Amino acid sequence: MKTHGYFGGTFDPIHNGHLSVATQLVESLGLDTLWFLPAGDPWQRQPTANKEDRLNMVKLALNTYPLLNVDEREVHRHGPTYTIDSVKEIRHEHGLEAPLWFIIGADSFLNLTTWRDWQHLLDYVHIAIACRPNYDLKKEQLPPALRSILDNKLEGDPKLINTPSGKVSIIPIIESPVSATQVRECIRQHEDIRSLVPLSVNHYIHQYHLYQ
């Protein structure tokens, strides 16, 4: 049975940090395909670029990665984007048995309790928290709800998990210190972003005068 992973984000714009996490997670989780899931209208923030441009940049960036793909559903959905809606649909499409992973960065995990129906995410998927080595999630500083998730759902080796959903795994990654905020700021300052984003994304940003 194939194992799929989904990597949600605003991707405003997609950058080399996202691609580095994605390729490392394909390996660590033994994924057959990792789907980037760009948010259409993220309800917690107002993206700078519109959703069509953000989607186009994700597509361009993934062009040369055969195991990375884009799932466009949230961009085409009307109304605010909630991850819970997507994981329900995704589970339905893959059937009850298929192992599914939802990937988030450690910073997003710390924010998880603000997501709509977050307690039900694990009914549909496993969650992989991409974490730089030695990044301490400092269990004692987590809100009790997140601490309880780590106490009850944490599984060391993700490749040993044989259930379709319900587990959390912390996956050490080699950090790539890039953020979309930094990319946008560099563009505003007229600085070179060629080391931060794929060449195709750099071209797109300049062609359409994004983030200026």
Task: Give the interface segment with ligand ATP, choosing from 5-13, 115-123, 137-145, 160-168 (CB under 6 A).
Answer: 5-13
Rounded Cα–Cα distance for residues 63 and 69 (Å): 8
Q: Which of 3, 5, 10, 170 binds ligand ATP (CB under 6 A)?
A: 10
Please tell me whether residue 4 binds ligand ATP under the rule CB under 6 A: no
The contact pattern for ligand ATP, residues 128-167, with x = CB under 6 A and - = no contact, is --x-------------------------------------
Residues 81-120 close enough to bind ligand ATP by CB under 6 A: 104-105, 107-108
Report yes or no: 26 and 68 within 8 Å, Cβ to Cβ.
yes
The closest residue (CB) to ligand ATP is 105
Report yes or no: 3 and 30 within 8 Å, Cβ to Cβ.
yes
> Could you give the angle at which helices 199-207 and 51-62 cross, rounded to 10 degrees?
150
Please tell me whether residue 169 binds ligand ATP under the rule CB under 6 A: no
CB of 156 to ligand ATP, least distance (A): 21
Give me the half-sphere count of Cα atoms (radius 13 Å) on the Cβ side of residue 88.
9
- Give just the sign of the alpha carbon dihedral 141, 143, 144, 146: negative
Q: How far is CA 39 from the centre of its chain?
A: 10
- Point out which residues pair with 130 in neighbouring strands: 105, 171
Please tell me whether residue 198 binds ligand ATP under the rule CB under 6 A: no
Q: Which of 12, 53, 71, 74 binds ligand ATP (CB under 6 A)?
A: 12
Q: Which residues bind to ligand ATP, rule: CB under 6 A?
A: 9-12, 17-18, 21, 104-105, 107-108, 130, 175-176, 178-181
